[in-house]
Chains A and B, each alone.
Chain A
């Protein structure tokens, strides 16, 4: 299965969830997207906005360098 990756750790609001939304829009249903993000605003908003739009957040794990790795399925 195709797995995409997006690093939004250098982005700020609203481009954090805007970039995730645009990436998901270009993917096919069933494909997965891994998102590397910072704690705080992105960690609060990105999983929530994905779930609101019917995408599945499969996992949400902290990384060793104080970031988070999110796995989303379209």
Chain B
């Protein structure tokens, strides 16, 4: 995990896994990457759901508890709005409003982030707890790492927790 030393760096911890907060994380990430910054997105806990290969509700994991959690949380298509979620209807309504106002939708921001070379890192501990394997996640995940590695990599970076 070596990066050029001369570039400004930003590390964003994607913890919440809420739809709106994921939009914020990817907006900052793409904006920063497009303005020549090295960007790392570190996905942990609820945020891990955004990295699942299957975007819908799948009972990933081995134990009954993990399967239940993963099914209930779902993937990218099930991220809830942090307020006024209305049983999952609001993220879809919000996406419609974003399109209407020519604001990039979450899938468009994610695609741009990948194209701009934003580094995607998954939290090893959260993967263990939720029994999500690397093979369950999108191929753009570049590393599976712990907090020590994340802190080392982010030593001279701004760290944002979302």
Contact = CB atoms under 8 A, between A and B. Distances in A.
B30 A14 contact: yes
Interface residues of A, number: 15
What DSSP secondary structure best describes chain A's contact surface? helix
A12 interface: yes
A17 B33 CA distance: 10
A18 B101 contact: no
A12 B102 contact: yes
Contacts of B102: 10-12
A21 B116 contact: yes
Interface in B46-75: none
A15 B112 contact: yes
Nearest to B26: A14
A18 B36 contact: no
A12 B103 contact: yes
By size class, the interface of chain B is 10 to 19
B115 interface: yes
Contacts of A11: 102, 104
Contacts of A49: 34-36
Residue of A11, A21, A22 contacting most chain B CB atoms (<10 Å): A21
B104 A12 contact: yes
Interface in B86-119: 101-104, 108, 112, 115-116
19 contacts: A10-B102, A11-B104, A12-B104, A14-B27, A14-B31, A14-B104, A15-B104, A17-B31, A17-B35, A18-B30, A18-B31, A18-B34, A18-B116, A20-B34, A21-B33, A49-B35, A52-B35, A52-B36, A53-B36
Given A17-B35, A18-B112, A22-B34, 17 more contacts: A11-B102, A12-B103, A12-B104, A14-B104, A15-B104, A17-B31, A17-B34, A18-B30, A18-B31, A18-B34, A18-B116, A20-B34, A21-B33, A21-B116, A45-B35, A49-B34, A49-B36
Interface of B: 27, 30-31, 33-36, 101-104, 108, 112, 115-116
